[in-house]
Amino acid sequence: MANTNQYINPLIVQRADPYIYKHTDGYYYFTASVPAYNLIEIRRAKTLAGLAHAAPRTIWRKHESGPMSQLIWAPELHYIDGKWFVYFAAAETTALDENGMFQHRMFCIECDAENPMESEDNWFEHGQVVTDKDTFCLDATCFEANDKLYYVWAQKDKAIRGNSNLYIAEMENPWTLKTKPVMLSKPEFDWEIIGFWVNEGPAIIHRNGRYFLTYSASATDENYAMGMLTVKDDVDLLDASNWSKSKEPVFKSDLATHQYGPGHNSFTVAEDGKTDIMVYHCRDYTEIKGDPLYDPNRHTKVQPFTWNDDGTPNFGKPVPYNYD
């Protein structure tokens, strides 16, 4: 059984939507939403624990106006064909539309330097990642399978109740979709529709002949929880019927240890190169003053997880805070 207390938690305070990538250079790279939602930063360290004290480097700042000028959310750092890419969501305004929705779209920036932290000047904008719907969308991730690059994200469909569903498409290149988006999941179970009808924050891990897609659902308070989709790795990933969806959450709040609303996760591997690590954010209280969106205390946590006999992940419960 993995030692779930081997890391200090929270690892990094006031960083929601955390993403950690272990690169071939031996460094862990970390990015996440910053509380001001005004820039994208990266930090790196040789160990997961070292990320807590690593100096962040700003690689991109929001525009003064236009589609990339407000509410910079959920950056993810990916290394594809020798270049670095960051996916993120941004909006033109903080105002809500006629349906009470934010107005985010998804964007991509690229860096071809060996070290992505060298300078802001090394990053250039590809602009919006365009889908088949001009609606609220966010939380993009990507993964490679069978020599193809796939894009997974959350988006609003005006014909479907709720804020966002999960979609997948093959990519022509890291900033352009090649195929028509396919919906993999929508909010439907009771635990997915508390406060808001939401499926968002997808993350992919490949093990035991399957791809596991975790995601987060419901409002971003103590009701926020993680679900999971599963597909065999030798079938058509763009056929939604090949994916199965867990009816119950696979990771949720633990009231006994005051861990509330765990979610928007990513996956990495421990220093031993073997142990799987889940990265996610969480709060330790439920009484949020004002809009939960602007409460900065969703902290980054990391914990090892194991695998069940049937080859599925066992995430356990959110580990308690253990810092002094």
Written as six digits, the tokens of 98 are 């006629």
**pLDDT at residue number 271:** 96
- Number of H helices and E strands in the chain, helices first, is 0, 22
**Structure confidence at residue 174 (pLDDT):** 98
17 catalytic, yes or no?
Answer: yes
- Mark whether 200 is an active-site residue: yes
Given pLDDT bands bounded at 50, 70 and 90, which one contains residue 189? very high
pLDDT of residue 12: 97
Catalytic residue among 17, 76, 192, 221: 17
Predicted confidence band at 254 (pLDDT cuts at 50, 70, 90)?
A: very high
For 121, 127, 141, 142, 144, the CA distances from 113, given in Å and listed in that order, are 10, 19, 21, 20, 21
Q: pTM value?
A: 0.97
CB 185 within 8 A of CB 193: no
77's tokens: 């750092």
Query: SS3 for 256?
Result: helix
- Domain ranges, ordered by start, for the chain: 16-314
Given the residues 41, 139, 192, 200, select the one marked as catalytic: 200
Q: Determine the pLDDT at residue 2.
A: 53
Confidence of residue 241 (pLDDT cuts 50, 70, 90): very high
Identify the sign of the CA torsion 117, 120, 123, 127.
positive
**d(C-alpha 280, C-alpha 262), whole Å:** 6
Q: Which of 74-78, 247-251, 319-323 has the lowest mean pLDDT?
A: 319-323
**What share of the chain in percent tops pLDDT 70?**
98
Predicted pLDDT at 5: 64
- Residue 289: the pLDDT is 82
Average pLDDT value for the chain? 95
Taking the CB of residue 201, how many other CB atoms lie within 10 A of it? 27
Closest CA to 156 of 117, 210, 106: 106
Average pLDDT over residues 244-270: 97
Decide if 207 contacts 149 (C-beta within 8 A). Answer: no
Report whether 199 contacts 154 (CB < 8 A).
yes
β-bridge partners, 61:
39
Question: What average pLDDT does this structure show over 220-244?
Answer: 97
Q: What tens digit of pLDDT does each residue of 54-87 get?
A: 999 999 999 999 999 999 999 999 999 999 999 9
CATH of domain 16-314: 2.115.10.20
The DSSP result for 129-195, as a single string, is ---SS-S-EEEEEEEEETTEEEEEEEE--TTSSSSBEEEEEEEEETTEE-S--EEEE-S-SGGG-SS
Number of residues written out for the chain: 324
Could you tell me the two tokens for 201? 């924050």
Nearest CA to 282 among 322, 246, 319? 319
DSSP per residue, 93-123:
-SS--TTS----EEEEEEE-SSSTTS-GGGE
% residues pLDDT > 90 (the chain): 92
Please tell me the predicted confidence (pLDDT) of residue 1: 43
Other CB atoms within a 10 A radius of the CB of residue 162 amount to 17
Express each pLDDT in 99-138 by its tens digit: 889 999 999 999 999 999 988 889 999 999 999 999 999 9
- Better pLDDT: 32 or 296: 32
